[in-house]
Amino acid sequence: MSTEILSVSELTQQIKSELEMTFPAVKVKGEISNYKRHSSGHSYLTLKDDGAQIPAVIWKNTGIRLAVELRDGINVVAEGRLEVYPPSGRYQLICTAVTAAGEGALQQAFAELLQKLAKAGYFAAERKKPIPAIPETIALITSSTGAVIEDMSKVLERRFPAARVLLYPVKVQGTDAAESVAAGIAWFNETKNPAHRPDVIIIARGGGSLEDLQAFNGEVVANALYHSSIPVISAIGHETDLTIADMTADLRAGTPSIAAELAVPDTGELLRRIETLQSKQDRAVQNKVEGAERQIYSICSSYAFNRPPLQMEQFEERITTLLDRTTTTIRNRYSEKAERYASLLQQLALLDYRKTLQRGYALVRKEGKFMTGIAELHPDDRVDLLFHEGTVPAVISSDQQ
């Protein structure tokens, strides 16, 4: 059987068709070497391990979307397709995505846990607790060394030195880091000592890779945050990093320094607000006093307020008039009665027998009765003769009768 003779181009084209059809999509793990970024924006590199190597290309549009910083010596997982480049007679990997080695599994675990916790309500806004406006005690759960604790301490001292700061040192990455952070959250929630119970907790660490932040992307810390009765501010990594702890906490801060600023008020601003409120209160009181004074003046000047005194004056005038009339009437009636009394006295005086006696007459009284005729007298009757000067006894003689 004779073998068909092919040109180099024909053979290369057949290899290209077979290879590209067989490997339309692949994932390759390896170490980057010979990394170069061309002025056009395209990147060229070699992926290698102990037994082989393969050239790779990252086009400009793909490169600008990568989250990992490429450099020689780092292990990555490259996704893409195989392509044969006929002019050089070699195959290469055209990359559509590149992640740091190990991040793929971490990203998948992150996505699965994110979905699970979201369904359980861990990220619901209605369960978020408000951060106290003026906390007396603040708990920091972070590493006891490094820039994070120094930065937060400076911010707290500058903004609100009155706050008391408690530190619970923990591991922030590596083995047992998640358990260490969760234990700190639980300790502050469970302590019976009021002096050790903070008003707000801050969990914080500096930036790092997805693997470095893994302690804060697990269920252990998420559960501790979810069950905390104390409000928690989470500040994990840089502002572009977002962990499950950030989403579960009551408030997320872009950096540890920002978390410290969010936890406490600014003393200067607080004093200015107090002064403003005091000024507003003073103005409000002054306005109320002035308003009350105007209202009192208006009432005192009103017809309704002044009517009673006017009526009292009118009543006094009427009473005075009535008293004058009454006095005049009484006096007139008294004069009339006095004149009538005097007239009656004169009339009575005319009827007084003593007046008659004064004119020379006398009355004869026998046995207490006045005699009106001779027939009532008998000889030897003893009688009294009443003159105006007095009484004289007498005896009736027979001769006189």
| β-pairing verdict for 382-386 and 363-366 | antiparallel
Domain with CATH 2.40.50.140 in the chain: 8-101
**Which range, of 175-184, 271-280, 302-311, 345-354, averages the lowest pLDDT?**
302-311
Classify residue 216 by burial, with Cβ atoms within 10 Å: 0-12, 13-18, 19+. buried
| DSSP-assigned states of every residue in 298-318 | HHHHSHHHHHHHHHHHHHHHH
What are the pLDDT digits (tens) for 207-217? 877 778 888 98
* Residue of 306 and 343 predicted with greater confidence: 343
| Sheet strands side by side (includes 251-252) | 164-169, 137-142, 200-205, 232-236, 251-252
The per-residue DSSP string of 5-56 comes to P--HHHHHHHHHHHHHHH-SSEEEEEEEEEEEE-TTS-EEEEEE-SS-EEEE
pLDDT higher than threshold 60 for residue 2 = no
Residue 181's pLDDT band, with cuts at 50, 70 and 90, is: very high
Superfamily of domain 106-265: Succinyl-CoA synthetase domains (3.40.50.261)
Q: What pLDDT shows up at residue 401?
A: 47
CATH of 8-101, one of 1.10.10.10, 3.30.360.10, 2.30.30.230, 2.40.50.140: 2.40.50.140
Q: State how far the Cα of 20 lies from the Cα of 125, in Å rounded to an integer.
A: 49
Note whether 166 and 139 are within 8 A (CB). yes
Helix ranges restricted to H, 302-375: 303-351, 353-358
Using the predicted structure, report yes or no on whether residue 234 has a pLDDT greater than 80. Answer: yes
**Element (H or E) spanning 261, and its range?**
helix 256-263
pLDDT of residue 291: 87
pLDDT at 105: 63
**CA angle, 76 as apex, 48 and 176 as ends, to 5°?**
125
With contact defined as beta carbons under 8 Å apart, do 233 and 201 qualify?
yes
The average pLDDT across 155-166 equals: 93
- Rounded distance, CA 282 to CA 289, Å? 11
Average pLDDT over residues 326-337: 89
Q: How many helices (H) and strands (E) does the chain have?
A: 11, 14
d(CA 213, CA 230) in angstroms, rounded, equals 23
Residue 202 burial class via C-beta count within 10 angstroms: exposed 0-12, middle 13-18, buried 19 and up: buried
Dist CA 39 CA 45 (whole Å): 15
| Helix/strand/coil for 342 | helix
Is the pLDDT higher at 401 or at 201? 201
* Segments of the chain assigned to CATH 3.40.50.261: 106-265
* Cα distances (Å, whole numbers) of residue 285 to 199, 277, 281, 292: 35, 12, 6, 10
Give 389's DSSP letter: S
Average pLDDT over residues 74-87: 89
Q: Determine whether 176 is exposed, middle or buried from the number of CB atoms within 10 Å of its CB (0-12, 13-18, 19+).
A: exposed
Q: Angle at CA 66, nearest 5°, toward 90 and 17?
A: 25
pTM: 0.52
Nearest to 46 by CA among 65, 67, 72: 72
| Lowest-pLDDT choice from 118-127, 280-289, 355-364, 387-396 | 355-364
Residues 6+ apart with CB under 8 A from 316: none
Token digits of residue 39: 């002025």
